[in-house]
């Protein structure tokens, strides 16, 4: 089923330009940034200040979920220091690349390209994370590029009759390069990429020979192995710190299953088009072996959600797989079934009417579905949480952040000279920069914008331990997907500030000493440190910390700010009022979170700042 080419040139060009402009407008309308983005920006500022890759001054730590995203933002920082514009350059480039790749996949057929872009407009999740989702825009373009090269390696997928030929050297080299880059985008992207790599190597084993297979496999793995070696030596661990914090370890499998089912339920109710495409992609199993490999990659992504227990950003885990399926639909021109099924299709009368009807059905969905991106208002104000429908606390993350970090808030900040993002956490950071002494350790709920706006002089800890390697490894006291509130044992702040363990438990003291040597010890290649690195990664010290850690969490606990300051007065006023914590998931009900959740704090900070 191929789309007929439009008969005239200038109307076609005008239509393509109009759709591209509509795509750009929708992209800007749905633009947003979350707190996690400012965590990455603070690490970039630390590196540019000559402190290395770290978040706090006392240890080396890598908090980005994507190696490539961090090092792409780094040169963009030299172009602009504006957080919105910096990520905007990244997002706009990735989205333009995706549209161009879809044009190549459609083989410059206008209706095929329009249908592919229409499928993007049908997905709420795609546009929710086409600007942010941190590295997601890069994943969308990377998935389309991988499909494009795959279809060039196996041109039979584009036609009814398979054509057996050796791949062009350029196509093969591009494929190897994309596979090599895949884990540097995200480690879990290999779930989509490596099935393709494994099949391609096996299918071309006769042409490559065993030596060629070994050399090609080595080329595919070299970037991952190089980064892993650097990460082990520099940070002490092969994976980003967020992986150790968020991936399941001792969390009950039943809880992960319930959370994953809740995650699927969120997408089915809020975004059925995305789930329909992902589930429908499994029809590729009816096709040839190269098509089945694509289906296997998408299936691995769908199963990974159950392993990870879902995510707190509803739909984020599905968008790269969705872009992959859209690229397959556009590139294969619907020839993904066996010739026998195509012959059945050929007997259907009015096949052209069926194509036109499919296009009109897609257009009707884009316009009529309440959650469609085209219908999203400029100031997105959907309910962030719906605990009755999704009890594990899965959020519409764009609704949480777009009013405060979207294009309207950014423009207002420029026009009025106010703090960006337009959020209490950022205003709190500006005030902390004025009131906190250097090297002070501040413990707060939301980490990114507060720590970024406060500068690099102070250290910051969040309640789920993302910014500290010890807290990441302490037991969780409450959780929702991707957020695990960590225990805070007595002596934690004193130990982190001085580097000398001050815990009551002797095993925890020893474990802290080893871990601090791994993440902050010098020299990097010292014998003692390298012995600790090896032992820590082999689990030789896992027996030292107790399985249960007593946590001090006084109900009226004040964040540690100096006496006599404005912040101290504000926090004391809220604490004495007995105001309840805001209604939200477990980690937001933490005592420290009630302060940034209190509107009086925000109003007072707003009045103090320009």
Question: Over pLDDT 90: what percentage of the chain?
Answer: 56
Other beta carbons within 10 Å of 279:
13
CB 192 within 8 A of CB 186: no
Confidence label for 496 from pLDDT (cuts 50, 70 and 90): confident
| Closest C-alpha among 264, 324, 332 to residue 139 | 324
C-alpha–C-alpha distance, residues 521 and 43, integer Å? 19
pLDDT digits (tens, 9 = 90+) for 38-47: 999 999 999 9
Query: For 89-116, how does the pLDDT look when each residue is reduced to its tens digit (9 = 90+)?
Result: 999 999 999 999 999 999 888 888 999 9
Mean pLDDT of 261-289: 93
- Tell me which of 17-26, 172-181, 418-427 is least confident: 418-427
Q: Could you report the per-residue pLDDT of 535-590, keeping only the tens digit for each?
A: 999 999 999 988 888 776 655 566 667 777 778 777 777 767 655 555 545 445 56
Q: Please, are residues 408 and 379 in contact by the beta-carbon 8 Å criterion?
A: yes
Q: How far is CA 284 from CA 120, 145, 575, in A?
A: 20, 19, 59
- Distance CA(278)–CA(319), nearest Å, equals 10
CA distance 245 to 339: 48
Better-predicted residue by pLDDT, 188 or 443: 188
pLDDT per residue as tens digits for the range 399-457: 989 999 999 999 999 998 888 998 888 988 888 888 888 888 887 777 889 999 999 98
Using the predicted structure, report yes or no on whether residue 216 has a pLDDT greater than 70. Answer: yes
């Amino acid at each position: 089923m191929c789309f007929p080419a439009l008969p005239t040139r200038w109307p076609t060009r005008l239509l393509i330009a109009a759709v591209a402009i509509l795509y750009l407008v929708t992209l800007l309308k749905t633009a947003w940034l979350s707190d996690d983005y400012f965590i990455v920006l603070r690490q970039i500022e630390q590196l540019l200040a000559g402190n290395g890759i770290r978040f706090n001054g006392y240890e080396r730590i890598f908090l980005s979920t994507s190696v490539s995203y961090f090092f792409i933002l780094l040169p963009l920082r030299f172009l602009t220091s504006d957080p919105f514009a910096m990520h905007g350059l990244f997002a706009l480039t990735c989205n333009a690349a995706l549209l161009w790749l879809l044009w190549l996949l459609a083989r410059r057929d206008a209706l095929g390209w329009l249908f592919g872009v229409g499928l993007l407009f049908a997905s709420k999740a795609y546009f929710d994370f086409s600007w942010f989702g941190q590295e997601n825009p890069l994943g969308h373009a990377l998935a389309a590029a991988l499909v494009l090269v795959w279809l060039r390696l196996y041109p039979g997928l584009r036609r009814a009759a398979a054509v057996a030929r050796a791949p062009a050297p350029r196509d093969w080299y591009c494929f190897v390069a994309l596979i090599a880059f895949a884990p540097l985008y995200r480690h879990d992207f290999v779930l989509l990429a490596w099935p393709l790599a494994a099949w391609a190597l096996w299918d071309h084993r006769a042409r490559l020979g065993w030596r060629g297979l070994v050399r090609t496999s080595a080329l595919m793995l070299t970037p991952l192995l190089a980064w892993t070696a650097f990460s082990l030596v520099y940070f002490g661990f092969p994976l980003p710190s967020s992986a150790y914090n968020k991936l399941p370890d001792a969390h009950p499998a039943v809880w992960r299953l319930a959370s994953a089912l809740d995650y699927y339920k969120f997408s089915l109710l809020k975004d059925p088009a995305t789930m329909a495409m992902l589930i429908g992609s499994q029809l590729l199993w009816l096709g040839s072996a190269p098509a089945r490999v694509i289906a296997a990659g998408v299936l691995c992504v769908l199963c990974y959600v159950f392993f990870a227990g879902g995510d707190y950003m509803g739909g984020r885990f599905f968008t790269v797989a969705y872009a992959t399926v859209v690229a397959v639909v556009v590139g294969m021109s619907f020839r993904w079934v066996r010739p026998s099924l195509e012959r059945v299709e050929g007997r259907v009368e009015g096949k052209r009417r069926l194509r036109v009807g499919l296009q009109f059905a897609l257009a009707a969905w884009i316009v009529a579905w309440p959650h469609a991106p085209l219908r999203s208002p400029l100031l997105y104000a959907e309910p962030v949480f719906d605990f009755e429908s999704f009890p594990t606390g899965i959020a519409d993350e764009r609704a949480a952040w777009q009013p405060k970090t979207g294009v309207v808030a950014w423009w207002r900040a420029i026009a009025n000279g106010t703090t960006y993002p337009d959020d209490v956490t950022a205003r709190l950071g500006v005030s902390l920069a004025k009131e906190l002494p250097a090297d002070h350790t501040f413990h707060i709920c939301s980490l990114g914008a507060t720590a970024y706006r406060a500068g690099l002089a102070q250290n910051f800890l969040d309640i789920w331990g993302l910014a500290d390697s010890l807290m990441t490894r302490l037991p969780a006291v409450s959780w929702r997907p991707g957020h695990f509130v960590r225990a805070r044992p007595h002596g934690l702040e004193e130990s982190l500030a001085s580097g000398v363990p001050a815990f009551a438990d002797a095993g925890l003291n020893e474990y802290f000493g080893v871990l601090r040597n791994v993440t902050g010890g010098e020299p990097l290649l010292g014998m003692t440190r390298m012995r600790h690195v090896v032992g820590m990664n082999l689990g030789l010290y896992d027996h030292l910390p107790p399985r249960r850690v007593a946590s001090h969490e006084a109900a009226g606990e004040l964040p540690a700010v100096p006496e006599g300051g404005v912040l101290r007065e504000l926090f004391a006023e809220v604490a004495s009022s007995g105001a309840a914590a805001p209604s939200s998931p477990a980690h937001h009900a933490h005592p420290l979170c009630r302060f940034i959740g209190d509107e009086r704090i925000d109003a007072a900070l707003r009045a103090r700042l320009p």
